[in-house]
Amino acid sequence: MDRSEFDILKSKRLVLRHFRDSDLEPFLAHRNDPEVSRYQIWDSIDRQEASDFIQEQMSRQPGVAGQGFQFAVEMNSTGELIGDCYLKIKDEDWRQAEIGVTLAPEHQGAGFAAEAVSSVLDYVFTELNLHRVVAVTDCENDASVALLERLGMRREGHFIENIWFKGRWGDEFQYAILKDEWLALRGLDSQANAE
């Protein structure tokens, strides 16, 4: 499918963009914070892994089936990297994707995660013309659960001990939202964005 090359997404307080070499230090800092990694698949990341990750992400474009893309999330006012937002288009169906978000602890609780994810959802439903987006979160991650529900996503699944996670079995919730549902929440015309 013909998709234009991604540049940036802007919201009131944030810019979502490709990673840059200059993001290495703040990326290392938030990815190695135990509070940030608590519900993530990683525990920590070393300098070489982080550098390799950034280099790989610099060459990627969002919307490629089967390939994960991380939007670097920066503060509009300072240019500071405060986190990243994940998007992966399903390999078997380019009209569906999974999203996620990670923020440095000092930027949590201020609405930045909702703003970042909203920007990505606007983009995937209007520019990439996706049909459905899901998000999976640890059942114990109350902040993530509250975020997904605040965004209007519907809890569709509660998986019991479905993942071996950091030395024990974990439970996960799956949330989802359809294009028409998101556009209605945002007051946008779904017909104007039809295939």
Q: pLDDT for 48-100, tens place per residue?
A: 999 999 999 999 999 999 999 999 999 999 999 999 999 999 999 999 999 99
Tokens, residue 36? 């940030």
The fold of 8-193 is Aminopeptidase (3.40.630)
Helix, strand or coil for residue 105?
helix
Question: How far does Cα 148 stand from its chain's mean position?
Answer: 11
Query: Could you state, in order of their start, the residue ranges of all structural domains in the chain?
Result: 8-193
Whether the CB-CB separation of 57 and 69 falls below 8 Å is answered with yes
| Radius of gyration of the chain measured on its C-alpha atoms | 16
State the pairing for strand pair 132-138/81-89.
unpaired
pTM metric for this prediction: 0.91
State the pairing for strand pair 96-103/132-138.
parallel
Which amino acid is residue 55, in one-letter code? Answer: Q
Average pLDDT over the chain, rounded to whole? 92
Interatomic CA distance for residues 64 and 134, integer angstroms:
16
